[in-house]
Amino acid sequence: MSFGLTKVFSKHGGRIIEKWIFDAQSPLVSAATVAELEHGRHSIIFGTKDGHILCIDEAGKEVWRFTSGEKLSTVDSFFVDQERVHSIDAPPVVQDVDMDGKPEILIGTEMGILYCLDSGGKLKWKHDCGSSIRASCAVADINMDGKPEILVGSSNNKLTVLTGNGKKMFEYDTDSPVESVPGVLQGKKPLIIFGNNKGTLIAITPAQEIVWRVELDHKITAAPAFFDDPEEKRLVIGTLGGDLVCISEHGEIVWTFKTQGSIYSAATIADINDDRKPEILIGSCDNSVYAITLEGHKIWSYETDFWVTTTPIVTDIDQDGKLEVIVGSYDHNVYILDSRGTYVLDYVPGLSGIVHQSGTYSSIITSDPGQQTGKKLYQFKTDGIVVGCTLLPRNKPGLIVNVKSGHVTGLDHQG
Amino acid sequence: MPPRLVSDKHEIKRIRTYINGLDENIQGGLPEGHIALVSGAAGTMKSSLTFNILYHEAVNGNNGLYISLEQSAESLVNHMLNMDFDFTKVNLVIIKDLADLASKLQSISRGKGSLFIVDIGCIRKEIRDINTDNNKSWLNVIKNVIKKVSVEANTKLFVMDSLSALYVLSRFENPRIELFMIFEFLRDLNITSYLISEMPLDGSKFSEYEIEDFLSDAIIVIKLTPFRRQVVREISVVKMRTTACNNDIFSLEFKNGQFYALYGGQNPLL
Query: Exposure of A366 by Cβ count < 10 A (0-12 exposed, 13-18 middle, 19+ buried)?
Result: exposed
3-state secondary structure A62-115: EEEEEECCCCCCHHHHHCCCCCCCCCCCCCCEEECCCCCCCCEEEEECCCCEEE
pLDDT band at A10; cut points 50, 70, 90:
very low
Q: Is the ipTM of this complex over 0.95?
A: no
- CB atoms B137 and A82 under 8 Å: no
Residue B267, pLDDT score? 76
Spell out which residues of chain A touch residue B102, defining contact as CB-CB under 8 Å.
Answer: 74
**Half-sphere exposure for B245 (CA within 13 Å, toward CB):** 24
Closest alpha carbon within chain A to B102? A74
* Partner residue opposite B131 with nearest CB, options A74, A79, A82: A79
Q: Give mean pLDDT, residues A231-244.
A: 96
pLDDT band at A343; cut points 50, 70, 90:
confident
- What region, left, alpha or beta, does residue A406 occupy, with left being phi > 0 and alpha being psi -120 to 50 degrees? left
Asked whether residue B262 is assigned to any structural domain, the reply reads: no
Q: How far is B97 from chain A (nearest CA, A)?
A: 8
Residue A121 carries which DSSP code?
Answer: S
- CB atoms B98 and A75 under 8 Å: yes
Asked whether residue B10 is assigned to any structural domain, the reply reads: no
Q: CA-to-CA distance for A149 and A140, rounded, in angstroms?
A: 5
Spell out which residues of chain B touch residue A74, defining contact as CB-CB under 8 Å.
Answer: 98-99, 102
Triad A87, A93, A98: Cα angle to 5°: 120
Q: CA-to-CA distance for A400 and A21, rounded, in angstroms?
A: 10
The pLDDT profile of chain B, 270 residues, written as one tens digit per residue, is: 666 788 888 889 999 999 999 999 999 999 999 999 999 999 999 999 999 999 999 999 999 999 999 999 999 999 999 999 999 999 999 999 888 899 999 888 778 999 999 999 888 777 665 544 455 578 888 999 999 999 999 999 999 999 999 998 888 888 999 999 999 999 999 999 999 999 887 878 999 999 999 999 999 999 998 888 888 999 999 999 999 999 999 999 999 999 999 988 887 665
Contact A244, A268 (CB under 8 A): no
Residue A46, pLDDT score? 98
Residue A2, pLDDT score? 37
Q: How far, rounded to the nearest angstrom, does the alpha carbon of residue B78 sit from its chain's CA centroid?
A: 18
Q: Does B134 touch chain A (CB under 8 A)?
A: yes
Q: Does B131 touch chain A (CB under 8 A)?
A: yes
Q: Give mean pLDDT, residues A373-397.
A: 95
Which among B17, B1, B64, B12 is positioned nearest to B258, based on CA atoms? B17
Q: CA-to-CA distance for A142 and A191, rounded, in angstroms?
A: 8
Closest alpha carbon within chain A to B103? A74
Query: Exposure of B199 by Cβ count < 10 A (0-12 exposed, 13-18 middle, 19+ buried)?
Result: buried
Spell out which residues of chain B touch residue A81, defining contact as CB-CB under 8 Å.
Answer: 136, 140, 143
Q: CA-to-CA distance for A333 and A368, rounded, in angstroms?
A: 32
pLDDT of residue A1 exceeding 70: no
Q: How far is A409 from chain B (nearest CA, A)?
A: 28
Mutate to test the interface with A, among B134, B169, B170 (most CBs of A within 10 A): B134
Q: Does B98 touch chain A (CB under 8 A)?
A: yes
- CB atoms B140 and A75 under 8 Å: no
Asked whether residue B70 is assigned to any structural domain, the reply reads: yes
**Half-sphere exposure for A52 (CA within 13 Å, toward CB):** 14
End-to-end CA, chain B: 47
Contact A115, A107 (CB under 8 A): yes
**Coil, strand or helix: which one is A157?**
coil
End-to-end CA, chain A: 18
| pLDDT tens for each residue of A194-224 | 999 999 999 999 999 999 999 999 999 999 9
Residue A357 carries which DSSP code?
Answer: P
Q: Does B13 touch chain A (CB under 8 A)?
A: no
* Partner residue opposite A78 with nearest CB, options B134, B136, B144: B144
- CB atoms B144 and A74 under 8 Å: no
DSSP characters over chain B: -PPPP-SSGGG--EE---EETTGGGTTTSEETT-EEEEEE-TTS-HHHHHHHHHHHHHHTT--EEEEESSS-HHHHHHHHHHTT--GGGSEEEEE--GGGHHHHHHT--TTS-EEEEEEHHHHHHHTTTSS-S-TTHHHHHHHHHHHHHHHHTT--EEEEE-HHHHHHHH--SSHHHHHHHHHHHHHHHT-EEEEEEE--TT---SSSSSHHHHHSSEEEEEEEEEETTEEEEEEEEEEETTS------EEEEEETTEEEEE-TTS----
Spell out which residues of chain B touch residue A240, defining contact as CB-CB under 8 Å.
Answer: none
Residue A7, pLDDT score? 36
Q: CA-to-CA distance for A71 and A154, rounded, in angstroms?
A: 19
Q: Give mean pLDDT, residues A13-26.
A: 95
Q: How far is A5 from chain B (nearest CA, A)?
A: 49
**Residues forming a β-bridge with A21:** A409
DSSP characters over A190-221: EEEEEE-TTSEEEEE-TT--EEEEEE-SS---
Query: In angstroms, what CA-CA distances link A168 with A128, A268, A333?
Result: 10, 31, 42
Q: What range defines the domain where residue B121 resides?
A: 35-223
Q: CA-to-CA distance for B26 and A356, rounded, in angstroms?
A: 64
- CB atoms A74 and B102 under 8 Å: yes
Q: CA-to-CA distance for A58 and B2, rounded, in angstroms?
A: 38
Q: Does B99 touch chain A (CB under 8 A)?
A: yes
Residue A33 carries which DSSP code?
Answer: E
pLDDT of residue A55 exceeding 80: yes
Q: Give mean pLDDT, residues A67-77.
A: 84
Please provide the average confidence, as pLDDT, over all residues in chain A. Answer: 91
Q: CA-to-CA distance for A29 and A385, rounded, in angstroms?
A: 9
Q: Checking DSSP bridges between strand B218-227 and strand B192-198, what pairing results, if any?
A: unpaired
Spell out which residues of chain A touch residue B99, defining contact as CB-CB under 8 Å.
Answer: 74-75
Contacts of B176 (CB under 8 A, 6+ apart): B209, B211
* Partner residue opposite B98 with nearest CB, options A74, A80, A82: A74
Which among A145, A228, A144, A156 is positioned nearest to A191, based on CA atoms? A144
Q: How far is B199 from chain A (nearest CA, A)?
A: 29
Which one has a higher pLDDT value, A77 or B17? Answer: B17
Spell out which residues of chain B touch residue A78, defining contact as CB-CB under 8 Å.
Answer: 98, 101, 140-141, 144-145
Residue A75, pLDDT score? 83
- In angstroms and rounded to an integer, the radius of gyration of the C-alpha atoms of chain B is 18
Asked whether residue B14 is assigned to any structural domain, the reply reads: no
Counting one residue from chain A and one from chain B, the pairs whose CB atoms sit within 8 A come to: 31
Contact A97, A139 (CB under 8 A): yes
- CB atoms A75 and B99 under 8 Å: yes
Q: How far is A82 from chain B (nearest CA, A)?
A: 7
Residue A187, pLDDT score? 82
Contacts of A39 (CB under 8 A, 6+ apart): none
Q: CA-to-CA distance for B154 and B174, rounded, in angstroms?
A: 32
Spell out which residues of chain B touch residue A198, defining contact as CB-CB under 8 Å.
Answer: none
| pLDDT tens for each residue of A95-133 | 999 999 999 999 999 999 999 999 999 999 999 999 999
**Coil, strand or helix: which one is A317?**
coil
Q: CA-to-CA distance for B30 and B36, rounded, in angstroms?
A: 8
Mutate to test the interface with A, among B138, B140, B169 (most CBs of A within 10 A): B140
Asked whether residue B249 is assigned to any structural domain, the reply reads: no
pLDDT band at A366; cut points 50, 70, 90:
low
- CB atoms A79 and B102 under 8 Å: no
Q: CA-to-CA distance for B262 and B21, rounded, in angstroms?
A: 6
Query: How many domains does one find in chain B?
Result: 1
Q: How far is A73 from chain B (nearest CA, A)?
A: 9
Q: CA-to-CA distance for A364 and A376, rounded, in angstroms?
A: 26
Q: Give mean pLDDT, residues A305-324.
A: 95
Closest alpha carbon within chain B to A76? B131
* Partner residue opposite B137 with nearest CB, options A74, A79, A82: A79
Residue B259, pLDDT score? 97
List strand residue ranges (DSSP E) for A205-364, in order. Answer: 210-215, 225-228, 233-238, 243-248, 253-258, 268-270, 279-283, 288-292, 298-303, 313-315, 324-328, 333-345
Spell out which residues of chain A touch residue B138, defining contact as CB-CB under 8 Å.
Answer: 79
Q: Give mean pLDDT, residues A366-394.
A: 90
Closest alpha carbon within chain B to A84? B140
Contact A295, A305 (CB under 8 A): no
Asked whether residue B139 is assigned to any structural domain, the reply reads: yes
Spell out which residues of chain A touch residue B145, defining contact as CB-CB under 8 Å.
Answer: 78
| Residue B150: count of CB within 10 angstroms of its CB | 19
Query: In angstroms, what CA-CA distances link A372 with A47, A114, A217, A255, A294?
Result: 38, 44, 31, 21, 17
- CB atoms A76 and B131 under 8 Å: yes
Q: How far is A153 from chain B (nearest CA, A)?
A: 17
Residue B133, pLDDT score? 47
Asked whether residue B25 is assigned to any structural domain, the reply reads: no
Residue B104's domain is classified under what CATH number?
3.40.50.300
Residue B128, pLDDT score? 60
Q: Give mean pLDDT, residues A328-345.
A: 93
Q: Checking DSSP bridges between strand A407-414 and strand A398-403, what pairing results, if any?
A: antiparallel
Q: Does B151 touch chain A (CB under 8 A)?
A: no
**Residues forming a β-bridge with A244:** A238, A257
Sign of CA dihedral B127, B128, B133, B137: positive
Q: CA-to-CA distance for A182 and A193, rounded, in angstroms?
A: 6
Closest alpha carbon within chain A to B145? A78
Residue A77, pLDDT score? 84
Residue B270, pLDDT score? 54
Residue A145, pLDDT score? 93
Q: Which helix (H) or strand (E) holds A4?
A: helix A2-9
pTM assigned to the model: 0.81
**Coil, strand or helix: which one is A187?**
coil
Asked whether residue B258 is assigned to any structural domain, the reply reads: no
Measured CB to CB, residues of chain A less than 8 Å from chain B are: 74-82
**Coil, strand or helix: which one is A364?**
helix
Burial state string for B69-94 with b = 16 or more CB within 10 A and e = fewer than 16: bebbbeebbeebeeeebeeeebbbbb
Amino acid letter for position A58: E
Q: How far is A197 from chain B (nearest CA, A)?
A: 12
| pLDDT tens for each residue of A355-364 | 555 555 554 5
